[in-house]
Amino acid sequence: MNFLSSYIYYIGAFGLIFIGLFIILVKHNLIKIIIGLNLLDTGVNLFLISVGYLHQGTAPIFGKGSQVTPASMVDPVPQALVLTAIVIGASILALALSLGIRLYDHYGTLDLTEVRGQKW
Amino acid sequence: MIILATVIVVFMLGAAIGIFFFKDLMNAVVASSLVSLMTTVLFFLLQAPDVAMAEAAIGVALVTGIFVIAIRRTERYEK
Amino acid sequence: MRDLLSIRGAIALGLLIIITLGLVFATADIPFGDPKSNVGTYYLENGRRETGAANLVTSVVASYRALDTLGEVAVLFIAATGLSAILAAGTKRIDRKLEEASLVLATGCRLFFPLILLFGVYLFLHGHLTPGGGFQGGAVIGSAFLLIYLGCRRRKVSNTKTDTIESMSGLSFVLIGLIGLMIGGSFFLSNFLPKGEFYSLFSAGILPLLYIAIGLKVGSEFAGIIDNMMEET
């Protein structure tokens, strides 16, 4: 239980990175590869936020009547970086899907083995 | 709190494995939005409310909508 | 299942196990939950005094690290322009039969649209006091436009208006930074407006103005992306 409580977030983040990379490497359909790219992005963001956590920490926001001291807040720098990274990931996904739509218009199929002419 | 985090991580990894095995692309997109939803709850448990709000608005609603529009313009089933 | 048992699947599995083991060994020295950095501690202790914002993540995004936000604004602009340029050269097939939405669906969508817009504007106006900010408010505004495109197809958002709002808000973001450079001395860090009292709406210098620009830009960007992708159906 002690091992699980220390590392459960890392296990979740590494699992998402593993499954995302596996889908990108093995699958043939272009839309499924793009879904795997989204999974990889989500896993990396989860890992970044879980690095900045503090035991018994609170959110870095001051309230009107609360007595939160700055010494007990979690790190605000990874949260600022991940906020930007989420929006950039979504816009890159839209650009990749538009390329997929043009590929389908030109070749008539989304299967990458037929487009590249590979055998395996 | 640890039990809640463990259950949510197991659910998230199960949905991610389901993306690999689904042949209908609409099912895969719904499973991807489920992964984003579980990540939102995990962000809240890690004391980051700004990031949880951003992931809920962008990862669950907008990315799923863009995927559905793109699938509608191409094929629906993976061979 | 056939993918897992081929040669490509086996090679990919072996490579990924090596990569995951490498990641696990690399993060064995990063214990979960111990204080790690000194930069974060400096921002936490001096953020309230120097910027006047109650939300410290806002003060990091829009005041201490505003150059990263400028880079993000540029990447968003390039992605949206690239998407409209790629999709404009394609073929437009209009060979699908559209089904008219029922009266309940169309009326409900039109009723909810201004309420969702109001919620998005509330989120980015109060970004320096509560959790929220420009990116979250902009995404909510974008999803309001997605509701209009999915529900009632007769109302179409005009293309020139979204392009004008997007360009103007991006330009005003850079202009506010340049005015700070001319008056104060540094690019984004000089708060040339008064800090005001704590917790009121008009506090924290230029932070609300920056977040209004970012919120309008992100919202109109996502509306433009959805409009370009749904062009022919």
- Read off the pLDDT of residues C11-57 as tens digits, 9 standing for 90 and up: 999 999 999 999 888 888 888 877 778 888 888 888 888 887 888 89
Residue B79 within a domain: no
Query: Does the pLDDT value for residue C186 go beyond 80?
Result: no
Q: Where are the domains of chain C?
A: 54-229
Contact call for residues A14 and C17 (beta carbons, < 8 A): no
Query: Which residue in B has a C-alpha nearest to residue C230's C-alpha?
Result: B69
Is the Cβ pair B25, A12 closer than 8 Å?
Answer: no
Q: Give dist(CA C214, CA B68) in Å, integer.
A: 27
Half-sphere exposure of residue A97: CA atoms within 13 angstroms, side-chain side: 31
**Which range is most confident: A89-98, C7-16, C27-36, C194-203?**
A89-98
The CATH number of the domain holding residue A103 is 1.10.287.3510
DSSP letter assigned to residue A58: B
Residues of B in contact with C229 (CB under 8 A): 66, 69-70, 73
Residue B78 within a domain: no
Residues of C in contact with B62 (CB under 8 A): 139, 142-143, 146, 222
Average pLDDT over chain B reads: 93
Q: Give dist(CA C8, CA C16) in Å, integer.
A: 12
Of C199 and B60, which is predicted with more confidence?
Answer: B60
Query: Does the pLDDT value for residue C2 go beyond 80?
Result: no
Backbone phi, then psi, for C128, in 5-degree steps? -95, 0
Residue A62 within a domain: no
Q: pLDDT value at position C195?
A: 66
Residue A37 distance to chain C (closest CA, Å): 15
Q: pLDDT value at position C101?
A: 76
Is the Cβ pair B19, A35 closer than 8 Å?
Answer: yes
Separation of first and last alpha carbons in chain A: 44
Residues 52-81 of C with CB under 8 A from B: 55, 57
Which residues are within 8 A (CB) of A31 and not within 5 positions of it... i.e. 6 or more apart? A97, A100, A110, B25, B28, B67, B70, B71, B74, B78
| Cβ–Cβ contact C106 with B under 8 A | no
Output the CA angle A58-A56-B4, nearest 5 degrees: 95
Query: Does the pLDDT value for residue C1 go beyond 90?
Result: no
| Cβ–Cβ contact C9 with B under 8 A | no
Name the residue among C69, C58, C222 with its Cα closest to residue C133.
C58
Residue B35 distance to chain C (closest CA, Å): 19
Of B47 and C202, which is predicted with more confidence?
Answer: B47
Residue B72 distance to chain C (closest CA, Å): 9
Residue B23 within a domain: yes
Of B54 and C159, which is predicted with more confidence?
Answer: B54
Q: pLDDT value at position C77?
A: 92
Token pair for residue A61? 């926001």
Contact call for residues B37 and C198 (beta carbons, < 8 A): no
| Cβ–Cβ contact A98 with C under 8 A | yes
Nearest-10 crossing angle of helices C134-151, C103-125: 170
Structural domain boundaries enclosing B46: 2-73
Average pLDDT over chain C reads: 84
Q: pLDDT value at position C98?
A: 65
Structural domain boundaries enclosing A100: 2-54+75-116
Query: Does the pLDDT value for residue A67 go beyond 90?
Result: no
Q: pLDDT value at position C233?
A: 45
Mean pLDDT within C107-123: 92
Is the Cβ pair B47, A22 closer than 8 Å?
Answer: no
Residue B63 within a domain: yes
Is the Cβ pair A25, C8 closer than 8 Å?
Answer: yes
Is the Cβ pair A76, C135 closer than 8 Å?
Answer: no
Residue A19 within a domain: yes
% of residues, chain C, pLDDT over 70? 86
Query: Does the pLDDT value for residue A34 go beyond 90?
Result: yes
Which residue of A98, A106, A107, A111 to mutate against C (max C Cβ within 10 Å)? Answer: A98
Contact call for residues C217 and C76 (beta carbons, < 8 A): yes
Domain total for chain B? 1
Residue A90 within a domain: yes
Domain total for chain A? 1
Is the Cβ pair A77, C37 closer than 8 Å?
Answer: yes
Residue B47 within a domain: yes
Is the Cβ pair A8, B29 closer than 8 Å?
Answer: no
% of residues, chain B, pLDDT over 70? 100
Nearest-10 crossing angle of helices B2-21, A2-26: 10
ipTM rounded to 2 decimals: 0.93
Q: pLDDT confidence of C190, banded at 50, 70, 90?
A: low
Query: Does the pLDDT value for residue B18 go beyond 80?
Result: yes
Query: Does the pLDDT value for residue C142 go beyond 70?
Result: yes
pTM of the model as a whole: 0.91
Mean pLDDT within B13-42: 94
